[in-house]
Amino acid sequence: MATLTEMSDLLKIISDKTRLTILALLKEREMCVCDIVEILQTTQPNVSQHLKKLKTIGLVNETRRSHWIYYSLNVEDKPYVKQVLSELPSMKKDVDDLSPDNCN
């Protein structure tokens, strides 16, 4: 079980709209930075900074495949975060609308 300090730190990180949106996207499927950049219409360095914060606090995992790093959720041991994510609006349409060769 997380301490109040750990929960507070984690909730501060996800209180940012961009990071919360990234979590909502990752709830749909694992993604690479280029996919997230396309959906959020922002820069790669901006997305990478947000992902770094989410990774540092343990909310996302990264897996390298060839030249790309894919990100996925890591919230199985954080039921309070899973509850927040379950209340987020679906990003399925945004994910489904991605260009198929976006990261090539």
36-61 tens-digit pLDDT: 999 999 999 999 999 999 999 999 99
Domains in the chain with CATH codes: 4-87 (1.10.10.10)
Q: Looking at residue 102, what is its pLDDT?
A: 67
Q: Is 70 helix (H, G, I), strand (E, B) or coil?
A: strand
Q: Please determine, for residue 100, whether its predicted confidence score (pLDDT) is greater than 80.
A: no
Distance of CA 60 to the CA centre of its chain: 6
pTM of the model: 0.92
| pLDDT-above-70 percentage for the chain | 97
Query: 18 pLDDT band (50/70/90 cuts)?
Result: very high
| pLDDT-above-90 percentage for the chain | 84
Q: Looking at residue 104, what is its pLDDT?
A: 62
Distance, CA of 37 to CA of 19 (rounded, Å): 12
Q: What is the mean pLDDT of residues 84-88?
A: 95
Distance, CA of 47 to CA of 54 (rounded, Å): 11
- Exposed / middle / buried, residue 54 (Cβ in 10 Å: 0-12, 13-18, 19+): buried
